[in-house]
Amino acid sequence: MDIEAINLTKRFGNRVALDNVSFRFSGPGAIGYLGPNGAGKTTTLKIFSHLLRPTYGKALINGIDVADGYAKALESVSALVETPEPYPKLSIKDFLTLIGGMRGLSREETTSRIAELKEKLSLEDLAVQGAKLSKGHKQRVALAATLMSDTDIMLLDEPTAGLDPAETYDVKKIIKELKRTRLVLMSSHLLDEVTELCDSVAFINKGRLLLTDTVKNVTNKFGKGKAGSAGLEDAYLKIIKGG
């Protein structure tokens, strides 16, 4: 299980969102994708989930170019990008059933997976329509949709955004479980979360990939002798801001 960017470039008119980004991550494990707002994190994840097409370069999932063979490539990927929500007029159950169907799950597999995720993510009443959900509940439903099938690779864009501490705890627990057997690439602004969950980190700013290394090496090199999230915070400032 691996994802690879080869000279990945994305332009929106004159604005360069991604500038010649190259990396290769192999799993299992979790990689934190760090950078300020507008750095290019979401753009990268969107290209790997075929929501955007690269202007130049390649995004490969298990060796398959997403731009050329997205249907095949996406069989190995589950993506939670930006802040997706279920359809306002569709119940949680119907929405998850749709995703199960699109993933090729049988009716029985879909039903049992929904029951499992209901428990894991405290989804409460599955008959509630998308429009009536709170922000945190919408995020949990979106995460449930992402977890509907057993894919090798998980792309998570700020997976705990909008969640309360208890919900955040549940999601972090799930990510810890996932990373044992799968490759998780997650963007986040929460450095304590990244320190807790990720094995490696990649720093991006202004569309350019600045550094990829293990969390341990990064904190050792740039963390001014501090351990944990404090060390990563110093490293972040040093690498991103040059401070």
Binding of other proteins by 127 (CB under 8 A):
no
Q: Using CB under 8 A, which of the segments 19-27, 43-51, 172-180, 190-198 binds other proteins?
A: 43-51
Q: How far is the CB of 67 from other proteins (least distance, A)?
A: 11
Residue 78 or 205: which CB sits closer to other proteins? Answer: 78
Residue 101: CA atoms inside 13 Å, Cβ hemisphere, count?
6
Residue at 91: amino acid letter = S
User: What does DSSP say about strands 64-65 and 56-61: parallel, antiparallel, or unpaired?
Assistant: antiparallel
Q: Using CB under 8 A, which of the segments 33-41, 49-57, 159-167, 172-180 binds other proteins?
A: 49-57
Residue 75 or 199: which CB sits closer to other proteins? Answer: 75
Binding of other proteins by 146 (CB under 8 A):
yes
Contact of 60 with 3, CB cutoff 8 Å? yes
Q: How far is the CB of 232 from other proteins (least distance, A)?
A: 28
Q: How far is the CB of 88 from other proteins (least distance, A)?
A: 8
Return the residue of 79, 117, 156, 191 that touches other proteins, per CB under 8 A: 79
Q: Using CB under 8 A, which of the segments 85-93, 168-176, 177-185, 214-222 binds other proteins?
A: 85-93
Binding of other proteins by 142 (CB under 8 A):
yes
Strand blocks (E) in the chain: 2-12, 15-26, 29-34, 56-61, 64-65, 77-80, 153-157, 183-187, 200-205, 208-214
Strand blocks (E) in 35-131: 56-61, 64-65, 77-80
Quickly count: other Cβ atoms within 10 Å of residue 130's Cβ: 18
Q: Which residues in the 9-28 window bind other proteins by CB under 8 A?
A: 12
d(CA 231, CA 218): 8
Residue at 95: amino acid letter = F
Binding of other proteins by 100 (CB under 8 A):
yes
Cis peptide before 28 (omega within 30 of 0): yes
Q: How far is the CB of 52 from other proteins (least distance, A)?
A: 5
Residues that bind other proteins (CB under 8 A): 12, 46, 49-53, 70-75, 77, 79-90, 94-95, 97-104, 130, 142, 145-146
